[in-house]
């Protein structure tokens, strides 16, 4: 006698659902009322999220699956499943949209906000004074703007923690002062409009580089980085070696890894043991336990790999991936190099915790067939091994024939999306999954949200282009 699926007991039915893909579950819920109700249970989507998303290395939130409501969890799992299939396919098709962020002036910076349920995008523009504008990611409409009177922004850092009340830190330059302000996105009353609110302030000439929770990294252009807890007012000073060959050794990124803080400067990275923060005056200066240089580069981006199923808490330390765009000394070369390096945590644990093994090892290298000047030198590498950057227009031929009567070939900047070897790319070589041609807007900045599969590009004419996977 045949047994119908809806006659099975709940435990057996849960085992059946555990083996189904996301499309199978969505199809099965259309068959009868019981299966529809069963498919909306929290345990069903927790099982699917664990087996088909987390264990398959598909980009997903760092939060525990049980922390989401069942509606939110289903939405996130379905989106992640689609994203994983897109990256594992031979090519990716972007869904473009856009809006005007400023009136004729360039978009100087653009960032997704990880917290606040990932609802917001900010742009930075400048007229007479600087302005930050908050945009709704779904409707692409303006929410609010923040422009302190007679102030210019020199640097901005977005909080990478999704649970912090602080959204970003910005350095304000006025005629007689320089101050870093910590901003939250909030409303004064339950139904009142959202706005930016300053919740902490620090007088310093150092620039905000990175922010994670209550920790803010501030750096100068030579060798010093300060890790400041804006809630407790405690801090620590990290001193990188002085490079006498560089008159401006700019800090570009600070990464808060497990028991290690990695400071990325113009052409090198410096690893510091996680320091103890002390109140003022703190005279202790911390020096790196290791460092490495990549030679002449025009871009470095470091990301922390997600925790492995064998170490879900990340207590052994996760590998760090370093994406490097190498400059080539030969001016006639028609290529430049994109390299991916890996810093692996040591199996030996010191008093300060696990350290990373130096020098880093080069995982893979790829050549770009075109070379030219870039306004947007941003590169973003996601924790799961997907990356985006702008490939410049080819000026080599145009430069050679500029003074002649020959027609100049048309060339455009191209946004490149690449999957490096890993669970999303099992080919063993980096795979270019998509490219998007710039039709004349001249990009100035970009950001990439790997979890959402979304890229944002700002342009010199004030337009923003959104590319969804």
Would the CA dihedral through 8, 14, 15, 16 be positive or negative?
Answer: positive
pLDDT at residue 32, as a whole number: 86
**From first to last of its 469 residues, what are the pLDDT tens digits of the chain?**
466 666 677 778 888 888 889 999 999 888 888 888 888 999 999 999 999 999 999 999 988 999 999 999 999 999 999 999 999 999 999 999 999 998 878 999 999 999 888 899 999 998 788 999 999 999 999 999 999 888 899 999 999 998 899 999 999 998 878 999 999 999 877 788 899 999 999 999 999 999 999 999 999 988 999 999 999 999 999 999 886 665 567 899 999 998 999 999 987 899 999 999 999 999 999 999 999 998 878 889 999 998 765 555 555 678 999 999 887 666 566 667 899 999 999 877 666 656 899 999 999 999 876 666 778 889 999 999 999 999 887 655 444 333 334 343 456 789 999 999 988 998 889 999 988 887 777 899 999 999 999 999 999 999 999 999 9
H or E element, residue 435: strand 431-437
pLDDT at residue 30, as a whole number: 87
Would the CA dihedral through 47, 48, 51, 56 be positive or negative?
Answer: negative
Q: Please report the DSSP string for 308-331 in residue order.
A: PTTSTT-TT---EEEEEEE--S-T
Nearest CA to 288 among 275, 301, 309, 273?
273
Q: What is the 3-state secondary structure (H, E, C) of 103-172?
A: CCCCEEEEEECCCHHHCEEEEEEECCCEEEEEEECCCCCEEEEECCCCCEEEEEEEECCCCCCCCEEEEE
Q: Write down the domain spans for the chain.
A: 5-88
pLDDT at residue 316, as a whole number: 65
pLDDT at residue 187, as a whole number: 86
Please tell me the distance from the alpha carbon of residue 3 to that of residue 169, in angstroms, as a whole number. Answer: 61
Strand order in the sheet with 268-273: 251-257, 260-265, 268-273, 290-293
* CA geometry: angle 272, 365, 291, nearest 5 deg: 15
pTM: 0.90
CA Rg value for the chain:
24
Please tell me the distance from the alpha carbon of residue 372 to that of residue 432, in angstroms, as a whole number. Answer: 19
Structure tokens at 241: 């070696």
Please tell me the distance from the alpha carbon of residue 67 to that of residue 385, in angstroms, as a whole number. Answer: 25
Q: By three-state DSSP, how is residue 255 classified?
A: strand
Total residue length of the chain: 469
Structure tokens at 326: 């190498």
pLDDT at residue 3, as a whole number: 66
The second-level CATH assignment, the architecture, of 5-88 is: Up-down Bundle (1.20)
């Amino acid at each position: 006698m045949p047994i119908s699926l809806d006659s099975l007991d709940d435990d057996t039915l849960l085992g059946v659902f555990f083996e189904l893909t996301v499309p199978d579950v969505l199809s099965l819920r259309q068959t009868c009322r019981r299966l529809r109700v069963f498919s909306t249970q929290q345990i069903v989507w927790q099982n699917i999220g664990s087996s088909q998303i987390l264990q398959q290395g598909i980009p997903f939130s760092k939060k525990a699956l049980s922390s989401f409501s069942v509606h939110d969890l289903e939405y996130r799992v379905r989106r992640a499943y689609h994203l994983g299939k897109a990256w594992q396919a031979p090519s990716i098709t972007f869904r473009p949209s856009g809006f005007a962020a400023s009136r004729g002036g360039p978009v100087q910076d653009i960032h997704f906000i990880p917290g606040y349920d990932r609802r917001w995008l900010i742009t930075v523009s400048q007229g007479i004074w600087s302005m930050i504008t908050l945009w709704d990611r779904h409707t692409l409409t303006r929410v609010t703007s923040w422009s302190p009177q007679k102030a210019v922004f020199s640097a901005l850092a977005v909080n990478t923690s999704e649970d912090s009340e602080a959204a970003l830190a910005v350095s304000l330059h006025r005629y007689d002062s320089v101050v870093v302000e910590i901003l939250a996105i909030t409303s004064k009353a339950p139904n009142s409009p959202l706005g930016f609110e300053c919740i902490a302030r620090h007088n310093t000439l150092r620039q905000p580089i990175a922010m994670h929770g209550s920790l803010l990294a501030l750096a100068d252009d030579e060798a010093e980085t300060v890790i400041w807890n804006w809630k407790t007012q405690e801090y620590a000073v990290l001193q990188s070696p002085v490079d006498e060959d560089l008159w401006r050794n700019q800090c570009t990124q600070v990464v808060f890894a497990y028991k290690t803080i990695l400071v990325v400067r113009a052409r090198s990275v410096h690893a510091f043991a996680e320091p103890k923060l002390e109140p003022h005056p703190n005279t202790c200066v911390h020096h790196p336990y290791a460092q490495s240089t990549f030679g002449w580069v025009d871009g470095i981006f470091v990301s922390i790999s997600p925790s492995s199923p064998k170490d879900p808490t990340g207590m052994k330390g996760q590998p760090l991936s370093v994406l490097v765009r190498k400059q080539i000394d030969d001016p006639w070369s028609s290529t430049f190099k994109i390299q991916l390096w890996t810093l692996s945590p040591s199996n030996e644990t010191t008093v300060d915790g696990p350290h990373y093994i130096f020098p880093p090892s080069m995982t893979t290298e790829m050549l770009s067939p075109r070379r030219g000047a870039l306004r947007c030198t941003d590169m973003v590498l996601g924790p799961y091994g997907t990356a985006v950057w702008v490939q410049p227009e080819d000026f080599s031929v145009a430069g050679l024939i500029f003074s002649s009567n020959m027609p100049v070939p048309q060339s455009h900047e191209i946004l490149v999306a690449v999957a490096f070897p890993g669970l999303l790319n099992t080919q063993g070589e980096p795979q270019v999954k998509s490219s998007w041609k710039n039709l004349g807007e001249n990009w100035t900045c970009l950001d990439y949200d790997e979890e959402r599969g979304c890229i944002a590009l700002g342009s010199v004419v004030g337009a923003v282009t959104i590319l969804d996977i």
